[in-house]
Amino acid sequence: MAGALAIALLAVGCGAVGRDANPGNRSPGVATVVRVIDGDTIVAKVGAREERIRLIGIDTPETVDPRKPVQCFGHEASDRMKSLLPPGSSIRVERDVEERDVYRRLLGYIWRRSDGLFVNRAMVADGYAHLLTIPPNVAYTNDFTRAAADARSSGLGLWRACPHE
Q: Which candidate in 95, 105, 121, 152 is catalytic?
A: 105
Cα(80)–Cα(128) distance, integer angstroms: 8
CA dihedral 102, 125, 114, 35 (to 10 degrees): 40
Cα(125)–Cα(157) distance, integer angstroms: 9
Catalytic annotation present for 105: yes
Q: Which candidate in 54, 95, 121, 152 is catalytic?
A: 54
Cα(22)–Cα(128) distance, integer angstroms: 27
Tally Cβ neighbours within 10 Å of residue 48: 5
What are the residue numbers of the active site? 54, 62, 105
